[in-house]
C-alpha cells in the first residue's frame, strides 16, 4: 500500500454495524487533534504557567515509555485511559499526548485490555500523526527535495521505532 493510499484509507467502508460507527466517532474526535499536531505552535499550559508543545509532551512520553516493559506500558496506558475517562467522561478518547509506543500498544491490544473503540481510535491517531507529518512537508515549500527530506526522516524514524510500532506498521524487525 502506498503512503498516499495509507493516509487516505478509510477502514470504515470495510466495516459494518457498530464497528463502522465506532471508527467514525473516533475519527471525528481526532479531527481537532490532527490540527494540533500539524501546528508546531500548539501548546498546553501547566499550573506553573509554562507552555509545553504537544510535540514536546510526546517526546517526553516517548523517553519515559522507552524504559518500560510491554506489560508496564500496557498497565500504565490502561490507567491513563481510565483516568482520562474519569475526568472527561466515557466516549472522549484523547491520545494526542501519548507516545507512539503507547498508541501502538493499544492498536496491538495483546492483553485484550482495550475496547474496540479504543483500538480504532489508536489506529486513527497513528494515521493522523502520519498525515500531519506529511502535511507539514507539503504545506511549506512542496518540492522534490522536501519529499526526499520527508522520506529520509521517515527512514530514520523507522530505525528508532519501538517493536510495537514496527509490528503495527508491518515492518520487519
Mean pLDDT of the chain: 74
* 142-165: pLDDT as tens digits: 778 877 877 887 787 777 788 888
pLDDT value for 171: 60
The answer to whether the CB of 144 falls within 8 A of the CB of 131 is: no
pLDDT value for 79: 93
Query: Please, which pLDDT band fits residue 30 given cuts at 50, 70 and 90?
Result: very low
**Nearest-angstrom CA–CA distance, 152 and 51:** 30
**Nearest-angstrom CA–CA distance, 16 and 112:** 21
* 38-56: pLDDT as tens digits: 443 344 555 566 677 877 8
Whether residue 37 has pLDDT greater than 90: no
**Nearest-angstrom CA–CA distance, 15 and 23:** 9
pLDDT value for 50: 67
Amino acid at each position: 500500500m502506498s503512503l498516499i493510499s495509507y493516509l487516505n484509507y478509510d477502514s470504515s467502508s470495510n466495516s459494518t454495524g457498530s464497528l463502522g460507527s465506532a471508527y467514525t466517532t473516533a475519527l471525528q474526535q481526532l479531527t481537532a487533534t490532527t490540527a494540533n499536531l500539524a501546528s508546531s505552535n500548539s501548546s498546553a499550559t501547566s499550573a506553573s504557567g509554562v507552555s509545553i508543545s504537544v510535540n514536546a509532551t510526546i517526546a517526553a512520553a516517548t523517553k519515559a515509555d522507552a524504559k518500560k516493559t510491554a506489560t508496564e506500558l500496557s498497565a500504565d496506558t490502561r490507567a491513563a485511559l481510565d483516568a482520562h475517562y474519569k475526568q472527561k467522561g466515557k466516549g472522549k478518547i484523547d491520545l494526542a499526548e501519548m507516545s507512539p509506543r503507547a498508541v501502538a500498544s493499544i492498536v496491538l491490544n495483546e492483553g485484550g485490555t482495550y475496547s474496540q473503540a479504543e483500538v480504532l481510535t489508536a489506529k486513527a491517531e497513528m494515521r493522523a500523526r502520519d498525515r500531519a507529518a506529511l502535511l507539514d512537508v507539503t504545506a511549506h515549500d512542496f518540492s522534490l527535495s522536501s519529499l526526499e527530506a520527508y522520506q529520509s526522516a521517515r527512514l530514520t524514524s523507522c530505525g528508532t521505532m519501538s517493536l510495537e510500532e514496527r509490528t503495527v506498521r508491518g515492518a520487519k524487525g
